[in-house]
Amino acid sequence: MGKYDQIMKILAILGGIITLIDAIGSFFGFSFSSGYWGYSYVWPIIAIILGILVILMVVQPGKPLPFTPIVLLIMGILILIFGSWLGGVLVLIAGILGYLK
């Protein structure tokens, strides 16, 4: 266990929850990143899947994906592309903290 593991878990869960809120809200016209989604419903659906994967990664480590810094970095980049800016940045920070052990 590294000294930043608890902070990594909190940041990853917050990033996943914010991504879910942003993606689900985009269906109803509410989004933290307004205008980012365009008219496509594919990007919010991908963002919902990514948000759920990040939360499951923390709750059940190793089940859908391993809870490692490299996976957090990849998920953070994917959330930045397909989901919310704030959620992606939080997951990226969690991944960076994993390398500071």
3-state secondary structure the chain: CCCCHHHHHHHHHHHHHHHHHHHHHHHCCCCCCCCCCCCCCHHHHHHHHHHHHHHHHHHCCCCCCCCCHHHHHHHHHHHHHHCCHHHHHHHHHHHHHHCCC
What pTM was computed for the model? 0.86
Residue 37: per-residue pLDDT = 52
What pLDDT does residue 39 have?
A: 61
Q: Which amino acid is at 52?
A: I
* Domain residue spans of the chain: 5-98
Predicted confidence (pLDDT) per residue in 51-74, tens digit = 999 999 999 988 888 988 999 999
pLDDT band at 12 (very low <50, low <70, confident <90, very high): very high
Which tens digit of pLDDT belongs to each residue from 19-56?
A: 999 888 887 777 666 545 556 778 888 889 999 999 99
